[in-house]
Amino acid sequence: MNIILTEKVNNLGNLGDIVHVKPGYARNYLLPQGKAIRATKENIEIFEKERSKREEENNKSKSEAEKLSKELKDISLIILRPASETGLLYGSVSTRDISKLLKEKNHSITHKQIVLEKTIKDLGIYEVEIKLHPEVGKNIKLNVARTEEEALIQEKTGKAVVESVEENNDDSIDPKTIDEISLEKLDGDKALNETSSGNDPNDKITKKLKK
């Protein structure tokens, strides 16, 4: 399917380019998102008449995005979440959570502008991408911790505060331990034999009482 890009699309083209893509990609993503229109004869003629206006609007929005990018230069977010000792969150951190936190800091960023490869489910330091414009992106630091104190530690170390679990893979057994196990087994067998043969001390006490 031939389409006209209404904005820059990574690995595809720039504003005004006519490109050929798979129908599914166009119908399910590019067209619904407003990133392209069908390259019909009529649309091509209309777009050419509006090209200069579209380019002007694009340059204006790009300039605003670059300004916002500078405002976000030194921003670092902290999100506190309960988590297990191994760092697994009791829940998760989503793009909506990040958007809400940014709005609390007077930065109007929608959750659709925030790019996460997957939902955050562990404590730690993350680099989160924000798409301010098709041609302007900004990475910010996100610190996911249990408490403010642990957030400070994670900020300094760059690592999540979790309990280290040492795995002992040594299958060898101390000879002394083997001897102790053997003696315990022998004592247990001896007691069992005495009970079976009627030599249980408790039996002797019972017999005396009967006399």
Domain count, the chain: 2
CB 37 within 8 A of CB 44: no
pLDDT tens-digit profile of 37-94?
999 999 999 999 999 999 999 999 999 999 999 989 888 999 999 999 999 999 999 9
Q: What is the pLDDT of residue 209?
A: 45
* Spacing of C-alpha 181 from chain mean position: 47
95 plus 135 within the same structural domain: yes
Q: What is the CATH number of the domain that holds 120?
A: 3.10.430.100
CB 143 within 8 A of CB 151: yes
11 plus 41 within the same structural domain: yes
| 201 within some domain | no
Overall pTM surpassing 0.75 (yes/no): no
86 plus 145 within the same structural domain: yes
Find, among 35, 50, 33, the residue nearest to 3 by Cα: 35
pLDDT confidence bin for 180, thresholds 50/70/90: low
CB 129 within 8 A of CB 115: yes
Q: What is the CATH number of the domain that holds 36?
A: 3.40.5.10
| 189 within some domain | no
92 plus 45 within the same structural domain: no
97 plus 43 within the same structural domain: no
Angle in degrees, CA 20, 26, 28, rounded to 5: 160
What domain range includes position 56? 2-65
